[in-house]
Amino acid sequence: MERLGFVPRTEGPLAERIRPTELDEVVGQEGLLGPRGALRALIERGIEVPLLFWGPPGTGKTTIGRIIAGMTEARFVHLSAALTGVKEVRRALEASRLRYTRLGKRDLLFLDEIHRFNRAQQDVLLPFLEEGSILFIGATTENPSFALNAALISRCQIFPFDSLDERSIEGVIKRALVDPRGLAGRFELTEDARDAIVSLSDGDARRALTILELASAIASGRLIDGSLIKAAVQRKGLRYDRAGDEHYNLISAFHKSIRNSDPDAALYWLARMIEGGEDPRYIARRLIRIASEDVGLADPRGLEQAIAAWRAVEAIGMPEGDLALAQAAVYLATAPKSNAIYTGMDQAVRDVREDPAAEVPLHLRNAPTGLMKKIDYGKGYKYAHDFPEGIAPMECLPPSLSSRRYFRPTGRGYERDIAARLDKWRKIIAEREGDEGPA
């Protein structure tokens, strides 16, 4: 969508009609837009550096982008990575470059949901940002450190946006009720109606205005009360807050379903997260964790499946990557399970924290110099390949932890073979106890 600067709308959704056209009209984000706000100062000086706006939905990212376009007399080109492919973005960039070359006027490209592009797709922006043929603002609800590639981050100034507090949402509602472009004084809100809208909005101004508009559409008179708000909001959308409790509840259900070898539940919770807008890369990272924590060496291919799913999501993005996640989830759910790696590592970490400076045995120390050899570094080391079965009768833990067992394989899957192999090796070592062997 292309628009010259910012043109207020007199039709369409309420949230669009009353969208602020000046910085002083923006509600919230005082830390960025207040008298000493860094973003305000940058805007007033004239923006040259590309920007990244990071924050929850409905916090003013697009609005401020449009205001900046109006202040700089730039054509506002609004694209969404969720709806637009790389080819369309490249065409828009090349058109803006041509316009800049011919007319000396830059467009402002506002790329919403930029995190929906994988790291390779994000590279399309780099040459245009480098040459400065466009003004650029990327908007994301995801942490840029995880969602965006380092080359893009290094070229942009990042500004974090906060969810709107209750007072800010109340201010948005009050303005919508009186603004001539909004409801123009035709309705009044009871206190319980206002509280209900604030609660349901979750700090999202757009959601608050949508609820208010729905209620006004079904109101039979001038007064809007709490019961009317409930009637307007017949069905809340999928309850999924990526920064709140539901995020942790669903990922917990997903993880525990796989741990309990339930592929059907694993697919259900996976679908809930994907449909709720969870970052697929977060799901892929959790699958990698599950592969080691709950499957482990009972089936070493589980980790391969999880990493393959992560790579697939990085390479092709969504929605195509959903089946790769599903494949890995089902594989892990149906694989033999072992937490031996998890418990072994946990015990080793506890021992390290209790005695962080346990001495490395002299026979295991490196001895690259004559002095080190003189003080017995490396003395008594036994080269494993010089012994039958490749096992030397030699303690490799610090003396204070001698004979400690961290890895205790189960009898499930491939770990059954590992357990048998370790038992055999330990018997060999026991038989050679006291035998110095070849040095």
Residue 312: CB atoms within 10 A of its CB come to 20
Shared-domain flag, residues 224 and 75? no
Three-class SS of 289-345: HHHHHHHHHHCCHHHHHHHHHHHHHHHHCCCCCHHHHHHHHHHHHHCCCCCHHHHHH
CB contact at 8 A, 211 and 232: yes
Shared-domain flag, residues 309 and 365? no
Query: Can you list the residues of the chain whose pLDDT is less than 50?
Result: 1-6, 235-240, 243-244, 436-439
Largest alpha-carbon pair distance within the chain? Answer: 98
Among 216, 228, 227, 207, which residue's Cα sits nearest to residue 186? Answer: 216
Shared-domain flag, residues 304 and 188? no
Q: Would you state the pLDDT for residue 186?
A: 92
Q: What is the pLDDT of residues 325-337, one digit of tens each?
A: 999 999 999 999 9
Q: Would you state the pLDDT for residue 435?
A: 56
Q: Look at the chain and count its residues.
A: 439
Shared-domain flag, residues 209 and 223? yes
Alpha-helix residue ranges (DSSP H) falling in 47-165: 61-72, 86-103, 119-122, 126-131, 144-147, 150-155
CATH number of residue 221's parent domain: 1.10.8.60
Q: Would you state the pLDDT for residue 4?
A: 45
d(CA 294, CA 413): 12
Shared-domain flag, residues 208 and 256? no
Residue 363 burial by CB count (10 A; 0-12/13-18/19+): exposed, middle or buried? middle
**Tokens 């892990």 identify what position?**
332
Shared-domain flag, residues 74 and 146? yes
Q: What is the DSSP string of 17-52?
A: HT--SSGGG--S-HHHHSTT-HHHHHHHH---S-EE
CB contact at 8 A, 430 and 391: no
Shared-domain flag, residues 114 and 209? no
d(CA 269, CA 251): 8
Tell me the HSE value of 380 on the side-chain side, using a 13 A CA sphere. Answer: 15
d(CA 139, CA 59): 11
Residues with Cβ < 8 Å from 434, sequence gap 6 or more? 393
d(CA 436, CA 439): 8
Shared-domain flag, residues 227 and 258? no
d(CA 326, CA 342): 24
Q: Would you state the pLDDT for residue 3?
A: 45
Q: Tell me which of 127, 160, 193 is where a domain ends.
A: 160
- Structurally, how many domains does the chain consist of? 4
Shared-domain flag, residues 292 and 356? no
Shared-domain flag, residues 88 and 215? no
Q: Which range of residues forms the domain containing residue 177?
A: 166-232
